[in-house]
Amino acid sequence: MEIRLLHGAAIAPYLDDLARLRLTVFREFPYLYDGAAQDEADALSTYAESGRSLVVLALDGGHVVGASCGQPLVDAAVELQQPFLAQGQDPNSVYFFGESALLPAYRGRGLGVRFFIERESYAHKLAEFDYCAFCAVERPAGHPLRPLDYRPLHGFWRNRGFLHQPSLRTAQRWRDLDDQEQSTKILSFWLKALPV
């Protein structure tokens, strides 16, 4: 297993791999995402365009099996910045953790922890940010496609020092696997103060 840290333009050659990984992993509950590879690659291109971005790649035999992304919130989509602006918080003070995706066969090996450690370390090293933040989709406990063995990651995130901020919310649209049309999903944020 190889862990590789990439920044800015060095991410561009991996955009298609990242898109395929996202399309595979985010089909699972709770995202149930049914998207297109080109749309994913376009959305992920902001990481290649940001000089302060980070992609943590997990490779096995040269194949991307996991990835975790981060960038300054001000370099991310406007709908991710808006909840902070609405509460009078400066998006310039936040390093945003984007997608983390890991193929099922590689879970339970500590890679999820490593993804958080690498992103937090990089955000701290930049010495420009007060907080790290990410958002996660909200689904009802009784959702019909929720697997019986599904375990939410809330405890894992709390153990990493993140606090749920349910008042910081954004909305995104995508088509669920069991739907014909796109629908609006609510995502709420989790924050962690970076050490001074």
Other CB atoms within 10 Å distance of the CB of residue 118: 17
Reference 122, options 44, 57, 67, 53; nearest CA is 53
Query: Residue 54: exposed, middle, or buried by beta-carbon count in 10 A (0-12, 13-18, 19+)?
Result: buried
- What band does 52 get if pLDDT is binned at 50, 70 and 90? very high
Q: Which CATH number does the domain housing residue 98 bear?
A: 3.40.630.30
**What is the model's pLDDT at position 36?**
82
Question: Each residue of 58-75: b (16+ CB within 10 Å) or e?
Answer: bbeeeebbbbbbbbbbbb
Lowest mean pLDDT among 132-141, 162-171, 177-186: 177-186
Based on the structure, what is the number of domains in the chain? 1
Cβ pair 98, 80 in contact under 8 A: no
**What is the model's pLDDT at position 43?**
85
- What band does 177 get if pLDDT is binned at 50, 70 and 90? confident
**What is the model's pLDDT at position 106?**
97
Domain that holds residue 30: 2-193
Preceding peptide of 166 cis, ω within 30°: no
Residue 192 has pLDDT above 90, yes or no: yes
Residue 31 has pLDDT above 90, yes or no: yes
| Residue-level length of the chain | 196
| Residue 195 per-residue DSSP state | P
Q: What would the mean pLDDT of 33-59 be, rounded to a whole number? A: 91
**What is the model's pLDDT at position 91?**
97
Cβ pair 74, 85 in contact under 8 A: no
Q: What would the mean pLDDT of 135-139 be, rounded to a whole number? A: 96
Global pTM exceeds 0.85: yes
For 63-92, the pLDDT digits (tens) are 999 999 999 999 999 999 999 999 999 999
For the packed helices 15-25 and 37-49, what is the interaxial angle rounded to 10 degrees?
130
Q: How far is it, in rounded angstroms, from Cα 114 to Cα 56?
A: 9
Contacts of 145 (CB under 8 A, 6+ apart): 29, 32, 176, 177, 178
Q: How far is it, in rounded angstroms, from Cα 76 to Cα 24?
A: 23
